[in-house]
Amino acid sequence: MQTSQSPVVTGPLLGSGSPSNPVPCNRVVDALARKTRFVRRTARKLPASDLLRATLCAVAEGTPELRSTAINCGIQCADTLSKQSLWERLRKPHAVDFFKACTEQAFGNLLKSHFKIASLPGISRVLVGDSSAIKLHPSLSEVFPGGSNQNKQSAQLRLQCTLDLLSGQWVDGGFEPYLRQDAKAAHDLAQSGVLEEGDLVVRDLGYAVIDA
């Protein structure tokens, strides 16, 4: 899933502004929501910053589901939000662009606060790719089969993501079946059309493919 370059808005970090927490602050998140056109006017009930925080809370709790996210949204905005209302919000145009822009911003903040990468002769981008398993509700196991044991079949998805280590830009990413291993996804980036001259691609051994 190729994406256009998302805007990066400079600003302090969430909370105390500690470099240990790269998540953008409310002002930056709301600015990104407007830049990506996810929000066209000031939200009265659920600001974009509250939506992002509620989503992160649900993921951190291990329940990245509409119900859990809606509950966390209610906590953030001190009001009740149904999962149906949340779904309508997430179906809006540019919602994916908004979350990608926030990812870029957080990744860029992390790079600036923790790493100093020297320029590399002949290298314009350092593309770091990896996958992450996402746990889903067990009722979805037939549609999204995941790991299994003798007792049950779990429901999981795999998120493939490639970021530029030098700029923090989201380069490529998308969801795919959990059972499709990284080794089979090794050539996806080359076939996606996002690679440019001067790119250095870095991945772990899970993507290694050796032709016999």
Among the listed residues 168, 179, 26, 153, the one whose alpha carbon sits nearest the alpha carbon of residue 107: 168
Overall pTM > 0.75 = no
C-alpha pair distances (Å), 34 with each of 31, 39, 40, 123: 5, 5, 6, 33
What element of type H or E holds 211? none
Among the listed residues 130, 182, 184, 178, the one whose alpha carbon sits nearest the alpha carbon of residue 155: 178
pLDDT at 4: 44
Beta bridge partner(s), residue 39: none
Give the E-state strand segments of the chain in sequence order: 125-136, 145-148, 153-164, 170-177, 199-202
What element of type H or E holds 196? none
pLDDT at 211: 66
pLDDT at 200: 92
33-42: b or e for each residue (b if 16 or more CB lie within 10 Å)?
A: bbbbebbeee
pLDDT by position in tens, the chain (length 212):
444 444 444 333 344 334 556 677 888 898 999 999 999 877 677 889 889 989 988 888 878 788 999 998 988 888 888 999 999 989 988 999 999 899 888 888 877 777 777 778 889 999 999 998 988 888 889 999 998 888 888 999 999 999 998 888 889 988 999 999 888 888 888 888 889 999 999 988 877 776 65
